[in-house]
Structure 1
Amino acid sequence: MQITLDDLVFDVTVDGPPDGEPVLLLHGFPHNKESWTETAPLLHAAGLRTIAPDQRGYSPGARPAGTDAYRLPHLAADALGILDGLGVTGAHVVGHDWGAAVAWYLAAKRPDRVHTLTALAIPHLDAYQYAYRVDEEQQRSSEYVKFLVSDGAAEHFLADGAAQLHAWFTQAGEGVLTDAQIERYVRTHTGPGTLDAALNWYRANDLLGDPFGFGPVTVPTTFVYSRTDTAVSELAVEKTAEHVTGPYRLVTLEETSHWQPQQDPGTIAAEIIARVRARGTSDPATTVPPATRSGRG
């Protein structure tokens, strides 16, 4: 389906039981709403209704010109507008990669609209930026950001039949993503203007600059971190707990790569379901499969 917000038209997949609790699924870079292809059916089987948009720049009808149009407040407003368009006053918000950044922002700034937060792969951005300032590991891990905001990044990825874009999806190791998964993301980003618009998320939001100042997150929160993820340091993960004042659970995956929803949808779905069901009143750890667990809710 499509949802129109002012002059932007978003492609949105809504599925699952019509009376199920709403779960907003926000994809990251360089993906699209198909990030949730493997995870969403497991959520539907648990009675949840999922709302998965192609976000700003990824929906062909929601691709405004100008870098500033991709700043986080606009991205968060899109998410809320999509909920409004569906008549949803509040939702459980799940985000992966850049979608996690939007989800953290929403949870901090609009807790009245966010029932629970499940953030995948990317920590609270204030913790990330603190780690970047003081931690050599995070500084090394963030080198790729400098490349993505440089001139010619899109052309680099798309040259030679998008060879470097293919390589981006395989850098975590052979077999992490299937050929079919890689093909659907490459197909999306080789469409006219898509990759350049997706890179505007990096250009408009200075991950390596001053803290965004999200403030504390008060809603029940689960953060799923992959220890083999080269984009995030241990310090950034550790510091995230200091930015959550509500019930908080850290889940550390020992072998899953950055591509969590695609590589391990069973664990990701279980964590989302557990967080939804707990709502801060009981321990989600009692309803999820084995993983390295820590937290306070």
Structure 2
Amino acid sequence: MTTAPSAFPAASRVDAGDLSVAYFDLGDPQADPVVLLHGYPYDVHSYVEVAPMLVEAGYRAIVPYLRGHGGTRFRDQDAPRTGEQAALGSDLLAFIDALDLDEPVLAGYDWGGRAACVVAALWPERISGLVSVNGYLIQNIAASQTPIRPDLEAGFWYFWYFATDRGRRGLDANRREIADVIWRRNSPEWAFSDAEMDRAAAAFDNPDYVDVVIHSYRHRLGLAPGAPKYDELERALASAPPISVPTITLDGMADGNFPATDGTPQAHLFTGPREHRRIPHAGHHLPAEAPHAFAQAVADVAEPPGDGAGTP
């Protein structure tokens, strides 16, 4: 098996809340921090080009594996392997605390963008800005049974597959193959290589991967209860709390599952400064498909970095 190269150094590790988080830390430790958050079914290598660009521009780029991925592990073997949005947001806040980060910019897509939106909405004082692909990603679970366009429903086949025991067994047996199908639907103009898929699929060997992924999709459809410890946060998220921090939202104009908009449908959910950008020829995996555009969005929303910094 050929493996695509990685620009990341050896992984670091920190205990943060329920997790022992594996992460990559690039750049000057004293520089303004940016936390880059991957989605499903992807991994930290979504940012293999973005992170060095940000470091070159004068930022500290920090890229953690989410729960159930890569080297990240649960600290308590009895902890529930939930994948609900409140858990992802709590993980991220605990990670910020564990590294003692001073008002980082959060930037992400898919699951990682959702975690970033949760923190931005519930704990805005802890961060300085947000970059989110596909905009406001906090889930409206109460509306999860409302049908959408049939062609878009077809793209979400795995939501319904994972709701079944057959889908759970299928994910366990075919982690890479399922990711390959999702990648192709999500990003029809992205000509990724087998080596890039193999590199990401290594993160799916995590022992908690199947439990976390299955719970995430069942919970968002109202088909599985959340962990009681997150009930209060889930109630807060159910009210669609607005995001007040400076934000740039991005839509890939070649996203196979999430059609690009002009940003106005979600405008009421952003009460602070917000700019919406549409990125040509980019799909759902936008940091990998349009790394310059993603890095530029981070730099534009961030506080000006220290002396000698440049533009990505």
Which band: TM-score by shorter chain? Answer: 0.7 to 0.9
* Residue number among 7, 12, 20 corresponding to 2:31 in the alignment: 20
Query: How many residues get paired?
Result: 281
1:101-155 deviation digits (Å, cap 9, x = unpaired) = 1111111100011210100135333689869847536656545422233323243
Q: In structure 2, how many angstroms separate the alpha carbons of the residues matched to 1:126 and 1:254? A: 26
Query: Which range is displaced more, 6-15 or 267-276?
Result: 6-15
Q: Could you tell which deviates more after superposition, 187-196 or 153-162? A: 153-162
2:245 paired with 1:245: no
Note if contact 2:107-2:116 (Cα within 8 Å) is conserved in structure 1: yes
Q: In 1, Cα distance between the equivalents of 2:41 and 2:145?
A: 22
Structure 1 unmatched ranges of 5 or more? 280-286, 289-297
Whether the 8 Å CA contact 1:124–1:243 is kept in 2: the answer is no
Residue matched to 1:61:
73
Distance in structure 1 (CA, Å) of the matches to 2:126 and 2:254: 33
Contact 2:34 2:107 in 1 (8 A): yes
1:110-129 to structure 2, matched below 5 A, reads 110-121=123-134, 123-125=136-138
Q: What is the DSSP-based 3-state SS (H/G/I as helix, E as strand, rest coil) of the residue aligned with 1:152?
A: helix
What SS is found at the alignment partner of 2:73? coil
In structure 2, the residue matched to 1:187 is 202
Aligned to 1:152: 166
Residue type of the alignment partner of 1:22 = P
SS at match of 1:69: coil
Residue identity matched to 1:62: F
User: Does 2:226 correspond to 1:226?
Assistant: no
The reply to whether residue 254 of structure 1 matches residue 277 of structure 2 is no
Uncovered stretches (5+) of structure 2, i.e. residues with no partner: 1-11, 225-234, 306-310
| Residues 123 and 236, structure 1, Cα contact 8 Å, conserved in 2 | no
Map 1:1-297 onto structure 2 (within 5 A): 1-6=12-17, 8-58=19-69, 59-62=71-74, 69-121=82-134, 123-125=136-138, 133=146, 135-136=148-149, 142-157=156-171, 159=173, 162-171=176-185, 172-173=187-188, 175-206=190-221, 212-233=238-259, 237-277=263-303
Higher RCO structure (Cα 8 Å, ≥6 apart): 2
Deviations 1:71-100 (A, max 9, x none): 322221211111111121321111111111
Instruction: Provide the C-alpha distance between the structure 1 equivalents of 2:222 and 2:287, rounded to a whole number of angstroms.
Output: 23
Task: Indicate conservation of the 8 Å contact 1:133/1:139, yes or no.
Answer: no
Question: In 2, distance between residues paired with 1:166 and 1:139?
Answer: 18
Alpha carbons of 1:134 and 1:61: their partners in 2 closer, same or farther (altered >3 Å)?
Answer: closer
Q: Secondary structure at the match of 1:246?
A: coil
Identity of aligned residues (%): 23
Question: What RMSD over aligned residues (CA atoms) do the two structures have, in Å?
Answer: 3.3
* 1:202, distance to aligned residue in structure 2 (A): 2.1
Mapped partners of 1:278, 1:143: distance in 2: 42
Letter in 1 for 2:61: T
Output the TM-score relative to the length of structure 1: 0.80
Q: Is 2:24–2:62's contact at 8 Å kept on the other side of the alignment?
A: yes
User: Residues 116 and 167 (structure 1 numbering): CA distance in 2 closer, same or farther, change over 3 Å?
Assistant: same
